């Protein structure tokens, strides 16, 4: 049979060549078409515009830090075609769901590749990241949109423990941490497991949950190892909370801060319920009438500023509000931070306790320095880039829950304590970044936590609301002071300098040399 075939080919060689040429053309066309289809279906435009369910994610993606990263680099991974092809074939089911409209809204991702196979291909976890100073500008809801600046040092950390690093926020990448969420969005985490380098396991249970070791054992397959996306979950599709987006627009001058109550008005509109973009835009445009009626004189002189603000608010609405898909900042929480969403407090809420009584620490200075607040016209306050010597009490994993009930004369050796527990920034203990914020997701008041805390101790120092010239309580100076600097206190501490200061200190004729007559020098702390 083989001989007959080759005999036929020799006798009909012209037809054979024509047939081979046609087959070659067909093969080239199929190959070119396949490559073109592969590239097109891998394109960001296809993912974001061809599928009618994707507009919210596509819009959010376009103004994200990853706007130049192709969707498939994260959702399929940066791998060879042979390995990516089977994964992509499995995603054909989404096309069927879209054609048959067999999906529920809002839509959430269910099968995202591990960050170790995606994020860490570009963001090398061994790379050491230095700490960074961050200034956060926010504005009040008063008529003047009063500015408030919060300055802190982010303890980003990073690197490998092999190099003596692996600390800071990125400790969670270097170390093995597992958790068991109670919901698909991973906002409720009642159980956390830490495995150290020697394989020792520490388990933490939420005091306010009814989770048991038996339940954890039964759901072992649902445990998730923590990676980048568990914190940076909105890094490529960010629906910004109005509080943050409006503050940012004001800080950049896109919305003029001189417009009365513009912050309060904008946030109120963007956080209210609206059935459609049309009703939302109508509410924004109504601001023009409101200012014309409420502030007629200002309106006549600043129409352009108000019109610009209205356009910015409408733009923000178009990027964070999608009523047809029921998607927005409310439906997609952001796990970076701990104000509008649980974020860090999902685990670091102060009430995840191990059987040995150790708690996943809830302390400001684990991931960043103690925030310092500056008001309008004041210079940025001084922040410590390195932690000083801390007493043994501060090392307790329950210290933040305890510190409000324990106070003695040793506290003033390091901290100014005027109006402790207040929020007027008159001292370290009256920090509005701590006490002036309602911490919705922190668990310091969990009833079950009381059994892990000692009884409150009474203060041996009198409580005063503010320093006065004849006050008996004399705070210590919480930093070194030598003979050369005595008398120069007002160079830094004054109405145009650092806090704390009070009016009687800066009255005319006040001798700077008198500071140390009342204020004691801080004692030297030792380990």
Domain regions of the chain by residue span: 2-116, 242-328, 389-527
- CATH architecture group of domain 2-116: Orthogonal Bundle (1.10)
Handedness of CA 407, 408, 411, 412 (dihedral sign): positive
**pLDDT score of 475 more than 70:** no
pLDDT tens for residues 455-466? 766 554 444 444
State pLDDT tens for residues 338-365: 988 999 999 999 999 999 889 998 888 8
User: Residue 139's pLDDT band (boundaries 50, 70, 90)?
Assistant: very high
Answer whether residue 119 shows pLDDT above 80: yes
Average pLDDT value for residue range 117-143:
84
| Residue range 220-230, pLDDT digits in tens | 999 999 998 99
| C-alpha span between 158 and 124 (Å, rounded) | 10
Average pLDDT over residues 76-104: 73
What is the number of H-type helices and E-type strands within the chain? Answer: 19, 12
Identify the bridge partners of residue 359 per DSSP, sorted by sequence position. Answer: 353
| Per-residue buried b or exposed e for 340-372, using 16+ beta carbons within 10 Å of the residue's own CB | bbbbbbbbbbbbbbeeeeebbbbbebebbbbbb
The three-class DSSP label of residue 97 is helix
Element (H, E) at 176: strand 176-180
Higher pLDDT, 160 or 328: 328
pLDDT greater than 70 at residue 300: yes
pLDDT in tens, 169-194: 888 888 899 999 999 899 999 999 99
Spatial CB neighbours of 501, under 8 Å, sequence gap ≥ 6: 493, 494, 495
Mean pLDDT, the chain, rounded, equals 81
Q: In angstroms, how far is the first alpha carbon of the chain from the final one?
A: 95
pLDDT band at 526 (very low <50, low <70, confident <90, very high): very low
Q: Which helix (H) or strand (E) holds 434?
A: helix 432-435
Residue 466: per-residue pLDDT: 43
Could you tell me which residue, 222 or 420, shows the higher pLDDT?
222
Say whether pLDDT at 490 is over 60. yes
Q: What is the pLDDT of residue 314?
A: 94
Mean pLDDT of 11-22: 72
Better-scored residue on pLDDT, 417 or 474: 417
């Amino acid at each position: 049979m083989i001989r007959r075939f080759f005999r036929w080919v020799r006798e009909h060689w012209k037809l054979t060549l024509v047939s081979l040429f046609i087959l070659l053309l067909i093969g080239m066309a199929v190959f070119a078409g396949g490559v073109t289809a592969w590239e097109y279906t891998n394109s960001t435009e296809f993912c974001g515009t061809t599928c009618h369910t994707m507009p919210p994610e596509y819009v959010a993606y376009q103004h994200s830090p990853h706007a130049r990263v192709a969707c498939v680099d994260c959702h399929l991974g940066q791998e060879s075609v042979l390995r990516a092809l089977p994964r992509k074939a499995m995603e054909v089911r989404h096309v069927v769901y879209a054609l048959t409209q067999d999906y529920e809204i809002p839509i959430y991702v269910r099968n995202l590749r591990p960050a170790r196979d995606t994020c860490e291909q570009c963001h090398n976890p061994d790379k050491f990241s230095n700490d960074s100073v961050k200034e956060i500008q926010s504005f009040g809801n008063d008529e003047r949109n009063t500015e408030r600046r919060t300055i802190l040092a982010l303890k980003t950390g990073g690197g490998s423990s092999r190099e003596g690093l692996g600390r800071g926020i990125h400790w969670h990448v270097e170390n093995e941490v597992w958790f068991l969420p109670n919901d698909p969005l991973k906002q409720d985490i009642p159980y956390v497991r830490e495995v150290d380098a020697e394989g020792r396991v520490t388990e933490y249970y939420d005091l306010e949950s009814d989770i048991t070791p038996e339940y954890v054992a039964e759901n072992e397959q649902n445990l998730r190892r923590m990676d980048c996306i568990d914190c940076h979950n909105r890094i490529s599709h960010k629906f910004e909370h109005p509080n943050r987006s409006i503050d940012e627009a004001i800080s950049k001058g896109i919305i003029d801060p001189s417009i009365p109550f513009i912050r309060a008005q904008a946030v109120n509109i963007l956080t209210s319920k609206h059935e459609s973009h049309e009703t939302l835009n109508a509410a924004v445009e109504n601001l023009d009438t409101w200012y014309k009626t409420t502030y007629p004189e200002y309106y006549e002189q600043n129409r352009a500023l108000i019109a610009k603000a209205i356009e910015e608010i409408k733009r923000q609405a178009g990027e964070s509000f999608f009523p047809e898909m029921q998607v927005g900042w409310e439906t997609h929480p952001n796990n970076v931070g701990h104000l509008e969403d649980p974020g860090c407090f999902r685990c670091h809420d102060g009430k995840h306790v191990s059987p040995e009584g150790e708690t996943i620490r809830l302390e400001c200075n684990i991931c960043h320095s103690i925030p310092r607040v500056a008001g309008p016209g004041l210079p940025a306050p001084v922040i410590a880039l390195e932690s000083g010597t801390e007493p043994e009490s501060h090392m307790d994993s329950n210290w933040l829950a305890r510190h409000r009930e324990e106070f003695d004369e040793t506290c003033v050796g390091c901290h100014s304590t005027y109006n402790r527990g207040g929020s007027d920034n008159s001292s370290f203990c009256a920090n509005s970044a701590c006490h002036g914020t309602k911490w919705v997701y922190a668990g310091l008041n969990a009833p079950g936590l009381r059994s892990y805390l000692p009884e409150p101790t009474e203060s041996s120092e009198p409580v005063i609301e503010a320093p006065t010239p004849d006050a008996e309580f004399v705070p210590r100076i919480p930093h070194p002071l030598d003979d050369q600097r005595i008398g120069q206190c007002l160079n830094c501490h004054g109405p145009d300098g650092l806090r704390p200061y009070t009016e009687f200190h800066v009255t005319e004729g006040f001798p700077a040399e008198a500071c140390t007559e009342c204020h004691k020098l801080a004692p030297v702390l030792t380990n």
